[in-house]
Structures are given as C-alpha cells and as structure tokens.
Structure 1
Amino acid sequence: MNQPTNPSFDLAHLAHVEVLTNKFDESLDFFTRVYGLTLSGQDETSAYLRAWDDYEFHSLKLTRSDTTGIGHVAYRAASPEALERRVTAIEASKYKVIGWVEGDLGHGRAFRFEDPFGHVFEIYWETAKYQPGEADTPALKNNASRFHASGACPRRLDHLNLLSKNVTEFRDFMVTCLGSRITEYIQLDNGRLGGCWFTVNNKTYDLACTEEHGGGNGRLHHVTYATDQREDILRAADIFLENGVFIETGPHKHAVQGTFFLYVWEPAGNRVELANSGARLILAPDWEPVCWTETDRKKGQAWGLKTIESFHTHGTPPVGEK
C-alpha cells in the first residue's frame, strides 16, 4: 500500500472523543468510579473527563443523548500554521465541511468536517491545559496530575475505532484530511479492505477503521485508554467483575498492532477498551504498512484466541436508532 514518504505531521495527536449516552448518570459513574477517569468540568449536557496523565482539560466528553455512539472526534494541531494548512486541505477536498465552531470547555475554536459515513471530526490549536489543584498535584513535575489509583486508572487516551461500510473510502479521507499515515491494514480475499490503522505522529496508531458488519452507518466500535503495563489490565478485569461490568473479550493480545487488550461495555452499551500499546513506535519516516491477509486473521488473535462474533457486529448506536 503506497503512502507519502513525507508525512505532514500537521496534527499533533488525538485530543478527545465525544461519546453519547442515553444513561448519563450510570455512564458517568462507570467512567469515574470504575474506569478511573476524573471529572474536570460539567455543563448542562456534558461531563468532561480525563485520565491522570492527559495534559489537556479533557480527553473524553460524555454527552447526554437519546442514543449512544460517537458525537465527534477531535485532534489537536501541531501549531496555528499547521491548523490553517489542514483547513485549506480539507476545504479543497471533496468531503463535507461543517466549518468553525466555538470550542468546548477545554479548548478554543475548532474546524469541523465529516467523513463519508457521517462521523464528525474537528481540529483545533488553542487548548486549556489541565491545572492540578492541591488534591491532585503530582510529586513529579513531569506528570500532568497525581496518580490517584482509583478504579482501573488508565494513564492517557490512546485511540478509537470507527466502523464504515467502505474502509478504502475512509482511508482516503484520513490521508487527505488529517494527513494520517497507514501503519497496518487487513486485505480481504474479496479485494476489500477489512480494516486500516492510522497515525498522525510516531505512535503505532491513534485511530482504526474496520468494516461495518452490523448494518449501521457512522457508528462507534470502541474508544481506548492506555495503561502502563499489562498487570494494570489484569487488575482492571477483576475491578470490572466486582462491579458487574460486562466483559466482552480479553484480557488477551491482538495480532494486529500487538496490543494487550480488554474490552467491556459501559452501561449504555458503548464498547470501551483498556490497552497496553505503548511499547511500539513508528520511527521510520518511510514505514511500509503491514498487510494482514484474511488467512492471517482467521488464525485469531496473537495467542490463538478466536475473535468473538459480537466484535464484528456490535457497534453504537444500535442499528435503526440513528
């Protein structure tokens, strides 16, 4: 799979994800008490949450809704000039432009646009860096806040996975609008792309897109936070068990990207992952994307665990709601 050998790096990183819930109180309790994010702020419709080492005001925006799924995906630009370069590229593309919007509690104005399947993206530069108070000031200056050891207590936002009916079209969108690089992909026997993994920096991936098998459109597959080590995920499995959280699959290790994973469903049905994926970095400027064939994928995950059926069909919102 060909890709540019001079990636733009106009975008610095995945900044935050807005998740919709029709069980706001239950979802907020899960993400704070059980999953271990902290509440930075709240308004009439949304709670703004972050992991203990996320440097921005929030990395998850949890929004009251009559449905579930994804509200929007946000990336922070690498500079004001980089933001303008991306805006110019997006406006010149064939993709739907929403335009400039006022920012959330955690950042300044943002430029919004859509992929071909209705997922809303935004990019921005001006941000509110989290300022710890007396209760969560870290002992080490280079941490964003104190390690609070509450719930599963992930360190930072890592990635998300979106569903689309045509992964090739989504790939073209990501390369054109976000300047993303492709790190790994699944090539199906029928010629279609079954999945594609993207990065805007040196992480192995910050966003994945896999083929929609549930008949929906513009749906969320999952959002993921990173832990420091695998043992954190093993402990989290017990924490989820004790709190009656549905564990869908794992702990185990993915073949694609080599991520150690655990998937659960939060109370409204959105899939949430904990992952340990920080060991691998893409340092080669001329990285050649890794191709996984359909035969490869039928072998299951890295250590032979077969992918369960719901992993291919469950997404949010449920089909017919949106």
Structure 2
Amino acid sequence: MKNYQEPNYDVAQFAHVEILSPKLEESVEFFTRFLGMEVTARVGQSVYLRAYEDFYHNTLKITEAKEAGVGHVGWRASSPQALHRRVEEIEKTGLGCGWIDGDIGHGEAYQFTTPDGYKMEIFWEVEYYIPQEDQKSKLLNRPSKRPDHGVPVRRLDHINLMTSNPEADTNFMLDTLGFRLREQIRDNGNVLGSWISVSNLVHEIAFMQEPNREKGKLHHLCYWYGIPQNLYDIADLLKDHGYFVEVPPNKHGISQAFCMYVYEPGGNRIELFGDTGYLIMDPDWKPVIWEMEDVPGNGDTWIGTAFPESWWLRGTPVTKVKSPEVVKP
C-alpha cells in the first residue's frame, strides 16, 4: 500500500490529569459528592481521586492555585522500552524537561511540553488501586464497588486543550508520540481543531483554537458514564444544587458522543460522556475532515440545543480580552 506509515503504539493511554483550582475543597466536593469519585490521597495542596472503574490509584489530581486551569497531563507508555523510545524522540524536538522520580500513583516519569507549552509526562510504572475488603466488588473485573451516592462516573475519558496553534500541537503528538488523527476542523486550510487518539476511541486528547491565540488554557476534562440516561440524572442533580450546566445533555456530531458540560466550583469546564460515540477499528483509518462552514448544527451539536458562545470562547485560566477575529460558528 502506497504511503502507509507503520503505526506506533508506544503510548498506551491517557492515564491521569492535574487540574488547578482556587477553591480546592469545593472542587473536591463536586467530584466526590456528585460524581461519586473517591479521594485516594492528600499531599500538601493536592488531592488525588479516582472513579470506580479506574484501575489505577488515581486519575485526577486537583492542586490548589490562584487560577483554574490544567497543571499537567499524564500518559502511560506501553512498556519500559516504549517509554525510552518516546523519550529519545521527545528530546530530539528540544521540548523535553527531564526526568522526575514520580508522583503519588506512578513511578519515574519524563516531563516535556507541547509546542504551545502544555506540561505533559510519560511513564511506565503505575500503582494499581487496591480496595479495602468492604469496597471490593462482586464483579471481579471491576476494581471497586459502584458508589452509593451522586451519579458516579465510571472512568477517565479525555481532555481538550485550547491552543494558539492547533496544527503545531497536533503534529507534535502525531509525529513524536504516535497519536493518530481521527477528526479535524479546518477553515481554508487552517487547522481549527483536532481529535486524536492512541486507541480505538475517537480521541483521548483534542486541541481547539484559542480565539485570542493565547497559550495554556484548558477547555475541558471529561469523565465517562456509558449510559445516556445518567446525563439527565446528573444534570438534574447538579442544577438542583446550584451548579451551572453550560450545555445540557446533547449529542456531538464530531465523535458522535452523547455529552453535557458543567463548571466545577474552581471554574474548570467538565464534560460528562453518556456513551462512547463510535469506535475506530480500521487500521487504515482516513481522518474525517470538517470544513468550518459545515460544523454549526452538525459537527458541534448533532441532536440538541445550539452550543452557547461561551463554549467556543472560554477556557481556564479565564481572560477578559476578546479578539475581534474570533473564529467560531
């Protein structure tokens, strides 16, 4: 087959993320009381959490900070050898930051940044969650019981970052880490958004154009339910307790996933997935390319209300300046 590039599976999965919150305890309450997540550790100004079908010690680290945003993104390599192969490639780009001994839940990791400056790390050694006897599930393939409060999310799904240059960050992840391009939005050849993955999911990470060409913003972090009805349940619960639901239960065109968006108390946007959307089994997948003119009412929302302007413009940390050249539907 002409121009076929051998796939690279050195990065296995999206393993954890650190978000920043100026309201640490309120943010922790949101994830534990309403989303049913469990606190697995507290160290200094950081709290570590997991969902009940997350197999690792933690998938979310919340660190107290002056402003909301993303601290870093963690990827697990597929083997110790894969880890060192990727480190060699990262170092060639000049974006490597060096090795750290590790953190709560994982061993030594190599830290680096994307071209836009997002801090990431890749590692192999992890600590698996070991439940107390009374938290063991009768389902032997589930790491802990389904929580008996809130509407519990099941696992970490993906992250979406707002970048000054979606094309540069996308190409870095494809060329250096082995991600595959699944879907993309373009406008007269300019890349406005990319959905990329290392698995058969449409994305573990997405990059969207930041309208003011600013760097370092979090658009959203997503946890997965797998059942659309759960979105109506959690939306009802959150609204009744005073949380702002930015986008009620809806269906994306891009990814075809059933979704909703809410702000946690620290100010970060959280997406909740009611299903997976579609899965990619084709090893020779051709990326789906959307022109911006086709996105409104098709790519963003397929079934549901139109997305508000804030969804296109707001990321954390929040800035007040709005560019007169905002690109959005």
TM-score under structure 2 length normalisation: 0.93
Alignment of 1:21-36 (within 5 A): 21-36=21-36
3-state SS of 2:249 partner = strand
Distance in structure 1 (CA, Å) of the matches to 2:88 and 2:149: 43
Alignment of 1:17-56 (within 5 A): 17-56=17-56
- Corresponding residue for 1:63? 63
1:309 Cα deviation from its structure 2 partner:
0.3
Distance in structure 1 (CA, Å) of the matches to 2:90 and 2:4: 17
- Corresponding residue for 2:163? 164
Q: How many residues align?
A: 318
Q: Is the 8 A contact 2:166 2:193 kept in 1?
A: yes
Unaligned stretches of 5+ in structure 1? none
Q: Is the 8 A contact 1:109 1:126 kept in 2?
A: yes
Question: Could you tell me which amino acid in structure 2 is paired with residue 227 of structure 1?
Answer: Y
Question: Could you tell me which amino acid in structure 2 is paired with residue 177 of structure 1?
Answer: T
1:188 Cα deviation from its structure 2 partner:
1.2
Q: Is the 8 A contact 2:268 2:316 kept in 1?
A: yes
Distance in structure 1 (CA, Å) of the matches to 2:4 and 2:169: 17
Select between 234-243 and 48-57 the one with higher mean Cα deviation: 234-243
Distance in structure 1 (CA, Å) of the matches to 2:289 and 2:107: 39
1:35 Cα deviation from its structure 2 partner:
2.1
RMSD between superposed Cα atoms in Å: 1.7
TM-score under structure 1 length normalisation: 0.95
Q: Is the 8 A contact 2:106 2:126 kept in 1?
A: yes
Q: Is the 8 A contact 2:257 2:277 kept in 1?
A: no
Alignment of 1:240-255 (within 5 A): 240-255=238-253
Unaligned stretches of 5+ in structure 2? 322-329
Q: Is the 8 A contact 1:5 1:285 kept in 2?
A: no
Change (3 A) 1:220 1:139: same
1:277 Cα deviation from its structure 2 partner:
3.7
3-state SS of 2:131 partner = coil
Q: Is the 8 A contact 1:56 1:130 kept in 2?
A: yes
Change (3 A) 1:3 1:109: farther
* Structure 2 residue 219 is matched with structure 1 residue 221: yes
Change (3 A) 1:15 1:250: same
Question: Share of identical aligned residues, percent?
Answer: 38
Question: Could you tell me which amino acid in structure 1 is paired with residue 258 of structure 2?
Answer: F
Select between 6-15 and 144-153 the one with higher mean Cα deviation: 144-153
1:97 Cα deviation from its structure 2 partner:
1.1
Q: Is the 8 A contact 1:14 1:74 kept in 2?
A: yes
Select between 24-33 and 277-286 the one with higher mean Cα deviation: 277-286
Question: Could you tell me which amino acid in structure 1 is paired with residue 110 of structure 2?
Answer: F
Runs of 4+ in 1 over 6 A off after TM superposition: none
- Corresponding residue for 1:202? 200
Distance in structure 2 (CA, Å) of the matches to 1:245 and 1:294: 31
Per-residue deviation, residues 35-75 of structure 1 (Å, max 9, x unmatched): 22111111112111001000000000001111210000001
